Structure 1
Amino acid sequence: MSKFNTPRARFGLQFSLIARQWRRVMQTHLSSIGLTDTTWVPLVHLSECDGITLKALALRVGVDSSSLVRVIDALEREGLVARKRDAADGRAKQILLTRAGQRRVKAIRTELSRFEETLMVDLSDDEVETMTSALERLQLKLDDYENNNNPESSS
Structure 2
Amino acid sequence: MSADLPHHTTASRATGRAGDASPFALGLLLRRAHWRAAAVMAEALRPLGIELRHFAVLIVLVDCGPTVQRDLAAATGSDKAGIMRVVDDLERKGLVVRKAVPGDRRVRAVEITPQGLELFDAAHVAAEPLAERLVGELGSDDAERLKDLLTRFAYPVEGGA
Length-normalised TM-score, structure 2: 0.70
Deviation readout 1:12-55 (Å, 9 max, x if unpaired): 22221121122134324532553323323322332222211111
Where do residues 27-46 of structure 1 align in structure 2 (5 Å cutoff)? 27-46=42-61
Secondary structure class of the residue paired with 1:79: coil
Aligned partner letter, 1:16: R
Deviation readout 1:102-127 (Å, 9 max, x if unpaired): 00101111112221012223434433
- Equivalent of 2:41, from 22, 26, 46? 26
Following the alignment from structure 2 to structure 1, what is the Cα–Cα distance between the partners of residues 20 and 55? 37
Per-residue deviation, 1:8: 8.6
Q: Does 1:14 align with 2:1?
A: no
| Residue segments in structure 1 that go unaligned for 5+ positions in a row | 145-155
Equivalence for 2:65:
50
Length-normalised TM-score, structure 1: 0.73
- Equivalent of 2:153, from 132, 138, 141? 138
Following the alignment from structure 1 to structure 2, what is the Cα–Cα distance between the partners of residues 55 and 129? 34
Deviation readout 1:49-68 (Å, 9 max, x if unpaired): 22111111111221112221
Normalized per residue, the structure richer in helix is: 1
Aligned partner letter, 2:42: Q
Q: What fraction of aligned residue pairs are identical, expressed as a percent?
A: 26
How many correspondences in the alignment? Answer: 143
| Residue segments in structure 2 that go unaligned for 5+ positions in a row | 1-10, 13-18
- Equivalent of 2:91, from 76, 81, 91? 76
Per-residue deviation, 1:101: 0.6
Following the alignment from structure 1 to structure 2, what is the Cα–Cα distance between the partners of residues 121 and 98? 34
